[in-house]
A and B are shown apart, each in its own frame.
Chain A
Amino acid sequence: MFKQFYEHDKAAFWLLTLIGGIVFLIPTANIIFPEESPFHVSAYSISIIGKYLTFALLGLSLDLVWGYCGILALGQGAFFALGGYAIGMYLMRQIGTRGVYGNADLPDFMVFLNWQELPWYWYGFNHFWFALLMIVLVPGLLAYVFGWLAFRSRVTGVYLSIITQALTYALLLAFFRNEMGFGGNNGLTDFKELLGFNIQSSAVRACLLIASGLALMLAFVVSKWVINSKLGRVITAIRDQEARVRFIGYRVELFKLWIFVFAAVLAGIAGALYVPQVGIINPSEFSPLNSLEIVIWVAIGGRGTLYGGIIGAVLVN
């Protein structure tokens, strides 16, 4: 089976082998080599490499919409940040009484703002499963609503690029406001535990790196399958001859919407894996410049290749 796969698609084979190698070797090197050994990988380096893996996933997600469907979406960073905030909210709730104010019911920044109770949209985030659901649901839903409005009105090209920039900019401004209840300027930070384990420990960092690597591999394989499906060919056809696709009976707006939402979900997952590894999420992640940077990764790595976004993300960083 491996041989068949290798012969069918060498680039994909090597890429998956490389990611698989990182996932296996880096944590192993951290555990088996003592700190003074030249082969030792520090906990800090693990997080850096894990972070790159999440960027790679983000790059892959943009390649789907831009590289394959031709939608130059300049707001992919917004979905990444929303995924990050979702896990960040869970991590905030995990702090419990260990915050500066020792308040089990409210995160520190809310106590500081003199809030008396938890806003409704924070409900549920003390459960890990709920956070996981939101990581997928919030970016997916926003992409669905935004995409439905934009694609149905046939907003394309530079106009679409501009409104996606506006979207992420609007979110940036909103999340900056203290009253929004997401920690304002400072964002969410000082995380202590993930599923009851110390988030700073080498073991948790190694697990996060492994999770990031596996998520990237899985996303790559699924994306590959999507692109090789008939839907993938319709998407490519839309990129090259949008009007023509309508005349053979496909609802272009629904196909664009599908790939846009799928990519937003991938970006959200990337963001959720990123935040525990860097220990903070703040509104600057919504910065329009961040989204532009993702486009540069994909452009450098090669559009419409799937591995382009991955390679570009790692190269640039």
Chain B
Amino acid sequence: MTALALPTGEVDTSHGPILYLEGVSVSFDGFKALNNLSLYIDEGELRCLIGPNGAGKTTLMDVITGKTRPDNGSVFFGQTIDLLKLDEPAIAAAGIGRKFQKPSVFEKLSVFENLELALATNKGVWPTLFAKLTSIQRERIDEVLLTIGLIESRWQQAGDLSHGQKQWLEIGMLLMQEPKVMLIDEPVAGMTHQEIERTAQLLLSLQGERSVIVVEHDMEFVRSIAKRVTVLHEGSVLTEGTMDEVQNDPRVIQVYLGD
């Protein structure tokens, strides 16, 4: 649990995928939230994950980020980094960032301070005590504030933001971390139509330089961003393909109608 050594150097993606999940199972009191699940995410790809409530999407993110330990299976970041040997901060430092389903920004801190804490830098205790923002880092924060449309609210307490703005701030915090893989759980819940469109644009602009996994219920939104879609059902992958393929798959139709 307390692997203190942070993985250093580059993530080895020489074989294509940046994230490997193989035969992963998680059970809660006998109930299988994930059941022998395998999933591969390529470097730079934008993958959408859909599936009915309780399919195990959030649990999957919990496993990748070290919050939940699987009973079985392996989870690798690139060819060499075994994520099951690392704890949450080490996984974050290795380059995997996460936006939670329920917005969990630091409500007592300002928008600016939320981004400052997320900023990719040395996060040891003493360096943090003596940390001073460089002008480059300030510019980086301003840039992200602009991207997430919160430049006017930079000194506002994060707790005072609207639900949609909190979602954006979460995404902004994710950007500040400059991760190689972004896990984004239900980004558009509670957003207005316009906000949803802007979120779609933002996520589309990210693919290529980083891998993004998006979990979302809003089918219209998924359709607007997805190249590849993975459908989860009862803790396993039901099918994978383009949005059209997936939507016309009779098993998928049955799962959604039966839901």
Q: Bound complex: CA of A166 vs CA of B104, how far in Å?
A: 34
User: Quick check: is B128 within 8 A (CB to CB) of the other chain?
Assistant: yes
Q: Bound complex: CA of A37 vs CA of B88, how far in Å?
A: 67
Q: Bound complex: CA of A303 vs CA of B125, how far in Å?
A: 23
Q: Are the CB atoms of B108 and A246 closer together than 8 Å?
A: no
Identify which of residues 68-119 in chain A touch chain B, using a CB-to-CB cut-off of 8 Å: none
Q: Bound complex: CA of A246 vs CA of B106, how far in Å?
A: 13
Question: For residue A251, which residue of chain B has the nearest CB?
Answer: B89
Q: Bound complex: CA of A28 vs CA of B125, how far in Å?
A: 43
Q: Are the CB atoms of A247 and B130 closer together than 8 Å?
A: no
Q: Are the CB atoms of A243 and B67 closer together than 8 Å?
A: yes
Binary B-proximity of A210-243 (CB < 8 A = 1, otherwise 0): 0000000000000000100111011011001101
Chain A residues with Cβ below 8 Å from B128 are 229-231, 234, 250, 255
Question: For residue B120, which residue of chain A has the nearest CB?
Answer: A249
In the complex with contacts A233-B117, A251-B89, A244-B131 CB distance below 8 A: no
User: Quick check: is B236 within 8 A (CB to CB) of the other chain?
Assistant: no
Other than the known A229-B129, A231-B129, A254-B125, what 4 A-B pairs have Cβ atoms closer than 8 Å?
A236-B106, A237-B106, A248-B177, A255-B125
For chain A, the bracket of interface size reads 20 to 34
Q: Are the CB atoms of A226 and B129 closer together than 8 Å?
A: yes
Minimal beta-carbon separation of A55 from chain B (angstroms): 27
User: Quick check: is A258 within 8 A (CB to CB) of the other chain?
Assistant: yes
Q: How many residues of B contact A (CB 8 A)?
A: 30
Tell me the dominant secondary structure on chain A's binding face: helix
Q: Are the CB atoms of B117 and A234 closer together than 8 Å?
A: yes
A-B contact pairs, 16 of them (CB 8 A): A226-B129, A230-B117, A230-B129, A233-B113, A236-B108, A240-B107, A243-B67, A243-B104, A247-B88, A247-B97, A247-B100, A248-B92, A248-B173, A249-B123, A249-B177, A251-B124
Chain A residues with Cβ below 8 Å from B117 are 230, 233-234, 237, 245, 248, 250
Chain B residues with Cβ below 8 Å from A177 are none
Identify which of residues 1-49 in chain B touch chain A, using a CB-to-CB cut-off of 8 Å: 2
User: Quick check: is A10 within 8 A (CB to CB) of the other chain?
Assistant: no
User: Quick check: is B166 within 8 A (CB to CB) of the other chain?
Assistant: no
Binary A-proximity of B111-155 (CB < 8 A = 1, otherwise 0): 001001110000111001111000000000000000000000000
Identify which of residues 77-114 in chain B touch chain A, using a CB-to-CB cut-off of 8 Å: 87-89, 92-93, 97-98, 100, 104-109, 113
Chain B residues with Cβ below 8 Å from A231 are 125, 128-129, 131
In the complex with contacts A233-B116, A247-B92, A241-B2 CB distance below 8 A: no
Number of residue pairs spanning A and B whose beta carbons lie under 8 angstroms apart: 79
Q: Bound complex: CA of A240 vs CA of B89, how far in Å?
A: 17
Minimal beta-carbon separation of A303 from chain B (angstroms): 12
User: Quick check: is A152 within 8 A (CB to CB) of the other chain?
Assistant: yes
User: Quick check: is B230 within 8 A (CB to CB) of the other chain?
Assistant: no
Chain A residues with Cβ below 8 Å from B173 are 248
Chain B residues with Cβ below 8 Å from A249 are 89, 92-93, 123, 177
Chain B residues with Cβ below 8 Å from A230 are 116-117, 128-129, 131
Q: In the A-B complex, list the 8 residue pairs whose CB atoms are closest, starting with the nearest.
A: A249-B92, A246-B88, A230-B131, A231-B129, A237-B106, A231-B128, A244-B104, A249-B123
Chain B residues with Cβ below 8 Å from A229 are 128-131
In the complex with contacts A243-B67, A246-B89, A237-B177 CB distance below 8 A: no
In the complex with contacts A233-B117, A254-B125, A246-B92 CB distance below 8 A: yes
Residue among A233, A241, A243, A247 with most chain B CB within 10 A: A247
User: Quick check: is B65 within 8 A (CB to CB) of the other chain?
Assistant: yes
Question: For residue A259, which residue of chain B has the nearest CB?
Answer: B125
In the complex with contacts A230-B131, A243-B67, A248-B173, A237-B109 CB distance below 8 A: yes
Q: Are the CB atoms of B108 and A240 closer together than 8 Å?
A: yes
In the complex with contacts A249-B89, A249-B177, A244-B125 CB distance below 8 A: no
Minimal beta-carbon separation of A182 from chain B (angstroms): 33
Q: Are the CB atoms of A248 and B109 closer together than 8 Å?
A: no
Q: Bound complex: CA of A44 vs CA of B130, how far in Å?
A: 43
Q: Bound complex: CA of A244 vs CA of B93, how far in Å?
A: 14
Question: For residue B99, which residue of chain A has the nearest CB?
Answer: A247
